[in-house]
């Protein structure tokens, strides 16, 4: 077991995120299908079990393979995935209040979410500072290496912003509630502005350097994460602001939910089309399964919750339809990634170390006399 986790990187937390979002996004659908909420609660329970298993495995990794753990931190391709640890904690915590309380009760759900939200927020804010710092002073990256993976550490605070308001009603009235809500709004701004700094680098790399390598092509879907999550966040601010902040602020949050959410969701759909075109091309060129396929799950799930929020605040049926269609895509993507991951775990292929590059033999020429 100790040897098996040597190459277990923080990117594995993406599977927890993708599973948790299936639960929370499904619970908000404008559908009343028999068994849907039970299935969503089961998905949350699975995400919690996956989180606990990964935390234990990563603890073994740091305890017995510190050289490899440090190598991950110094690897510009792997270090940004530490943002996934924060988002996994937050996603499972948010799912606890949305559907998990059906099985464990409200009191236990609030306590568990408070712990996971606090830990996830601390890790997320730390990653949002530490990873860009390492990129500047230790990684020595070049613009040609820019990928959507760079967004992961700066998007984590946006997940806190979107899920933190769920805890607001469980705090004492007055300053505690207002402080948490405005702290979430501050993390919304922090993450949004950091994303606006990173995204142009990613887009510039894409249009000037050509398509991403096949294995990294699914990461184009990561751009949907800050778009869908920020739309969800402004909707949550509007939902929980009344009675927490002054009426004028609450009305401002309601306006922001629509005036910000509608255009950003429009851009998300544009990027979804662009990313899908790149993935289709990559499949035609032989793209095979890697753990980057989990990028098809959580980011799409945030667009589902964003569409659900817009449906609530605009009353437009078109957003109901959009949420249902995107949720179908999410479930299909989750099932595909989950099946391939299970196969890779059973075969040991996903936990194996990187293969050494083939050594080309030097040509031999015969001398004649």
Please report, in tens digits, the pLDDT of each residue of the chain (369 residues total): 577 778 888 999 999 999 999 999 999 999 888 999 999 999 999 999 999 999 999 999 888 888 888 888 888 889 999 999 999 999 999 999 999 999 999 999 999 999 999 999 999 999 999 999 998 898 888 888 889 999 999 999 999 999 999 999 999 999 999 999 999 999 999 999 999 999 999 999 999 989 999 999 999 999 999 999 999 999 999 999 999 999 999 999 999 999 999 999 999 999 999 999 999 999 999 999 999 999 999 999 999 999 999 999 999 999 999 999 999 999 999 999 999 999 999 888 888 766 554 444 444 444 443
Euclidean distance between CA atoms 278 and 181, whole angstroms: 38
Nearest C-alpha neighbor of 89 from the set 126, 118, 111, 120? 120
Would you state the pLDDT for residue 354? 62
Nearest C-alpha neighbor of 51 from the set 23, 83, 84? 84
DSSP state at residue 171: S
Residue 245, phi then psi, degrees to nearest 5:
-115, 165
Tokens at 363, concatenated: 């040509």
Would you state the pLDDT for residue 75? 86
Would you state the pLDDT for residue 368? 44
DSSP codes joined into one string, 56-80: HHHHHHHHH-HHHHHHHHT-TTTGG
Would you state the pLDDT for residue 359? 42
Q: Give the contacts of 56 (CB within 8 A, at least 6 positions apart).
A: none
Would you state the pLDDT for residue 353? 66
Nearest C-alpha neighbor of 43 from the set 4, 61, 68, 17? 17
Would you state the pLDDT for residue 1? 57
């Amino acid at each position: 077991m100790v040897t098996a986790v040597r190459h277990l990187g923080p990117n594995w937390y993406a599977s927890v995120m993708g599973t948790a979002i299936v639960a929370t996004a499904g619970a908000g659908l404008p559908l009343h299908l028999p068994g849907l909420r039970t299935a969503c609660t089961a998905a949350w329970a699975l995400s919690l079990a996956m989180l606990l298993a990964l935390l234990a495995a990563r603890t073994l990794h740091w305890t017995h393979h510190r050289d490899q753990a440090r190598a991950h931190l110094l690897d510009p391709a792997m270090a940004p995935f530490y943002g996934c640890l924060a988002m996994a904690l937050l996603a499972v915590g948010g799912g606890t209040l949305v559907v998990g309380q059906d099985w464990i009760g409200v009191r236990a759900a609030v306590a568990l979410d408070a712990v996971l939200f606090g830990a996830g927020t601390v890790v997320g804010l730390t990653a949002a500072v530490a990873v860009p710092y390492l990129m500047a002073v230790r990684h020595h990256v070049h613009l040609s290496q820019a990928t959507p993976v760079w967004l992961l550490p700066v998007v984590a605070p946006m997940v806190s912003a979107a899920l933190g308001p769920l805890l607001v009603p469980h705090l004492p009235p007055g300053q505690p509630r207002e402080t948490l809500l405005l702290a979430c709004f501050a993390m919304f701004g922090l993450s949004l502005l950091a994303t606006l700094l990173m995204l142009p680098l990613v887009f510039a790399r894409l249009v000037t350097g050509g398509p991403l390598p096949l294995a990294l092509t699914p990461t184009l879907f990561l751009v949907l994460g800050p778009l869908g999550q920020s739309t969800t966040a402004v909707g949550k601010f509007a939902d929980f602001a009344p009675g927490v902040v002054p009426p004028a602020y609450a009305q401002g949050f309601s306006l922001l939910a629509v005036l910000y959410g509608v255009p950003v969701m429009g851009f998300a759909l544009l990027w979804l089309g662009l990313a899908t075109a790149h993935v289709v091309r990559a499949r035609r060129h032989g793209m095979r399964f890697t753990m980057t396929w989990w990028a098809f799950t959580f980011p799409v799930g945030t667009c589902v919750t964003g569409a659900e929020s817009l449906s609530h605040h605009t009353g437009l049926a078109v957003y109901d339809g959009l949420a249902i269609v995107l949720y179908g895509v999410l479930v299909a993507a989750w099932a595909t990634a989950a099946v391939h991951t299970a196969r890779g775990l059973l075969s040991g292929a996903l936990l194996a170390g990187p293969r050494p590059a083939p050594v080309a033999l030097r040509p031999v020429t015969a001398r004649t006399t």
